[in-house]
Amino acid sequence: MMTHGFRCPHPIGHHGPLRLAGLLFLAGSIGGLSSRAQTLPGVTWTTATQKLVTGTSPQSIAVGDFNGDGIADIAVGQAGSIGIFLGNGDGTFKAADTGNNGVTISVPLTAPLAIASGAFQTGKPVGIVAVSGSYNAVILSNGGGGETAPAAFTGVVSATSVAAGDFNGDGKADLVVAGFAPDSSNPIVAIFLNGGGGTFGTPTLIPIDASSPEFVAAGNFLGNGYTDVAVTVNNSVDVFLNDGSGNFSQGVGGTTGNGPSSIAVGDFNGDGKQDLAVANQADGTVSVLLSNGDAFGTFTTSATVKVGNGPSCIVVGDFNKDGKADLAVTNQTDNTVTVLLGNGDGTFSSPTTLKVGVAPTSLAVGNFNGNGNVDLAVTNSADNTVTILLSQVVGTPTPTPTPTPPGGGGGGGGGNGLARLINISTRAQVGTGGNILIPGFVVGGSGTETLLIRADGPSLTQFGVNGVLAQPSLSVYNSAGAVIASNTGWGTNTNPALIASTAASVGAFALTSGSADCALIASLPAGAYTVQVSGLNSTTGVALAEVYEVSASGTRLANISTRAQVGTGGNIIIPGFVISGSGTDQLLVRADGPSLTQFGVSGVLAQPSLSVYNGAGTVIASNTGWGTSSNPALLASTAAAVGAFAFASGSADSAQIVNLSAGAYTIQVSGVNGTTGVALAEVYEVP
């Protein structure tokens, strides 16, 4: 086996909810930049290179929101230290020193060094895990914008690679590490389960048939919602299949090229099962291994793609936002990055080469300038720089389809007459960290309401939506912040037939059998809830979150909200809702931007603009600046009556009161003059 002086990170993230006004939402500068434009079909790139000031020989990189401000940051593993560079939200980063609220953490780590990010603590920003030949440690967030001192963990020695994933389904990131078993020369992968609060106990050790530790990745290879493990072994990949509780059995795996140096996970043929892409350093290729989804864990090599010389790291991202997984590879010998756009069938278009720094060793994906696109950050080990590749997608995604109201009622009693809200949906760009899609809703009254809750990604392509979220993950939280229901892949439920028949009964479009869309049926007592829609393995794309009333007993949907990053074009926030029954329903509709800063939200939309559309696509109400409306006093008193937080006098937040009859409606929240930022769209039933 070849010896490689670098390791490629595998970041993963998850965040918990914060409470706001009866609903729940997530809160979601390296300078001296030199730029030039590089072109790729469907996407253009701007290259910016930054000289590091905190260390030498950067070997690995991880992306995460390390200070909880909703903006992607980067952590760089260097010689003897880890530098944390906090993002400014515009594609630049602050220096890694305490004066800029960043930090450089000194650790006794020797090459090779690998780092990854993960949500190791509930309700706190992501942390970092670092492994090396002599020392392994977890660096946790202190919850206040900084990182704690490294906490060493044992159970594996001479580690070479690390990945984070939730192996027992408890919502906390666990670890898989490649290394040697203590007091032996046996190469192993070690599974560390998170004991809570980022502590890791005695690992489960799985022997591997190799002369030395290699490269690990985590993914759902069978499409059953369980996170499995893959490890390169000589010129092949072994897989270990998870039973859902963190217990593993060996599968068959597949064959790679010569000298694999990095492994990445993504669904490359759109069948709802995650596949593997392996960079092979010795022959300068990428092997694409498609999961067959059988109980034996077999993979078929669908493509072998020539890239550059000395490929060192590979990552997955939807760079042109067409809903198909793409690849990016660092070529250490050529000083380049190769980008491969996926065709959606396990094959890739002709490679395109982007120049970076000298001897690029690793790269990671993230949205660094807040536009919802997938960018790249590359470490260059020979000139001690980080190259930021900002992507700009050519073309605009199509707006979401308007939900179709079901026939019949859905219960009586309403704010005005017998009209009532019976289903809600929100279409938005799903990012990472605090920029995932986070709708909230309130079940009013007393008793229990049965709801169909869905997260649609792949199925949106039938409506002409581009850049969909290939593999959405769905979680429902109660007001205490506990996960009460979750799903990844609607066919993995115990009741897929019931989900399909229920969708038909409430007028929802059908999900394709075996698709990666998510759905569940939940019976919920009155209270406040949030739905979190994210992408598996921090992937991004357009998704539609839906909540349909199936049956109600003394309850009703009383209000909804959606917190998301507002982009431009098709990446604005577009909530939809359906009113059923006779008479009219009076609603308070709001678009909150500047007022969110009182809750610690950074990067807010400075001037939100609000429009309400009927089912025919006609604007029936709009506002920009709630104080400019004809009835600001009524807006303020109505907000107080429904329990909404108050807007500051003269703020740029927007609001309207509307009286709507039965039908389907959508709300569009955009930024004045094409500005972007975080916003909260709200709809309240007025008593």
Could you read off the pLDDT of 18-45 as tens digits, one per residue? 222 222 222 222 333 333 345 444 788 9
377-397 burial, b for 16+ CB within 10 Å, e for fewer? bbbbbebbbbbbbbbebeeeb
Q: Please give the structure tokens belonging to residue 450.
A: 């049965």
pLDDT at 409 over 50: no
pLDDT of residue 397: 32
Whether 23 and 681 have beta carbons less than 8 Å apart is answered as no
pLDDT of residue 98: 65
Please work out, in degrees rounded to the nearest 5, the angle formed at the alpha carbon of residue 492 by the alpha carbons of 544 and 557: 40
For the purposes of burial, counting CB atoms within 10 Å of the CB of 407, is it exposed (0-12), middle (13-18) or buried (19 or more)?
exposed
**Residue among 346, 357, 360 nearest 313 (CA):** 360
pLDDT band per the 50, 70, 90 thresholds, residue 112: low
DSSP 479: T
Could you give the 3-state DSSP secondary structure of residue 94? coil
Dist. CA 62–CA 84, nearest whole Å = 10
Which CA distances in Å does 103 have to 54, 83, 141, 285?
Answer: 9, 6, 12, 37
The tens digit of pLDDT for each residue in 116-127 reads 988 788 767 788
pLDDT at 400 over 70: no
Of residues 370 and 261, more confidence is placed in 261
Dist. CA 665–CA 618, nearest whole Å = 10
Q: Tell whether omega for the bond before 207 is within 30 degrees of 0, i.e. cis.
A: no
pLDDT of residue 44: 87
pLDDT of residue 29: 29
Q: Please give the structure tokens belonging to residue 649.
A: 């006098």
- Cα Rg of the chain (Å, integer): 24
pLDDT at 415 over 70: no
Whether 516 and 272 have beta carbons less than 8 Å apart is answered as yes
- Which helix (H) or strand (E) covers residue 505, if one does? helix 496-506
- Which helix (H) or strand (E) covers residue 502, if one does? helix 496-506
For residue 664, the cross-strand partners are 578
The tens digit of pLDDT for each residue in 132-153 reads 888 899 988 776 556 778 888 9
- What are the two backbone dihedrals, phi and then psi, of residue 69, each rounded to the nearest 5 degrees? -100, 5
Of residues 445 and 511, more confidence is placed in 511
Q: Which of 62-66, 100-104, 283-287, 558-562 has the lowest mean pLDDT?
A: 100-104
pLDDT of residue 143: 65
The tens digit of pLDDT for each residue in 280-338 reads 999 999 999 999 989 899 999 998 999 999 999 999 988 887 767 899 999 999 999 99
pLDDT band per the 50, 70, 90 thresholds, residue 372: low
- DSSP, residue by residue, 376-442: EEEEETTTTEEEEEEEEESS-PPPPPPPPPPSS-S----SSTT-EEEEEEEEEEE-SGGGSBEEEEE
pLDDT band per the 50, 70, 90 thresholds, residue 663: confident
Whether 676 and 565 have beta carbons less than 8 Å apart is answered as yes
Could you give the 3-state DSSP secondary structure of residue 153? coil
The tens digit of pLDDT for each residue in 179-236 reads 999 988 899 999 999 988 788 989 999 999 888 888 999 988 987 778 899 999 989 9
pLDDT of residue 60: 92
Dist. CA 444–CA 222, nearest whole Å = 39
pLDDT of residue 651: 92
Sign of the Cα torsion 289, 293, 298, 300 reads negative
Residue for token digits 């007993």? 553
pLDDT band per the 50, 70, 90 thresholds, residue 245: confident
Could you give the 3-state DSSP secondary structure of residue 597? helix
pLDDT at 517 over 90: yes
Which CA distances in Å does 160 have to 114, 156, 163, 216, 232?
Answer: 7, 10, 11, 9, 12
pLDDT of residue 405: 26
pLDDT of residue 639: 87
pLDDT band per the 50, 70, 90 thresholds, residue 176: very high
Quote the mean pLDDT of the chain.
81
Whether 369 and 90 have beta carbons less than 8 Å apart is answered as yes
% of the chain surpassing 70 pLDDT: 86
- DSSP, residue by residue, 539-591: --EEEEEEEEEEEEEEEEEEEEEEEEEE-SGGGSBEEEEEEEEEEEEEEEEEE
Could you give the 3-state DSSP secondary structure of residue 638? helix
Of residues 282 and 16, more confidence is placed in 282
CA dihedral 223, 224, 227, 233 (to 10 degrees): -50
% of the chain surpassing 90 pLDDT: 30
Q: Please give the structure tokens belonging to residue 37.
A: 């434009």
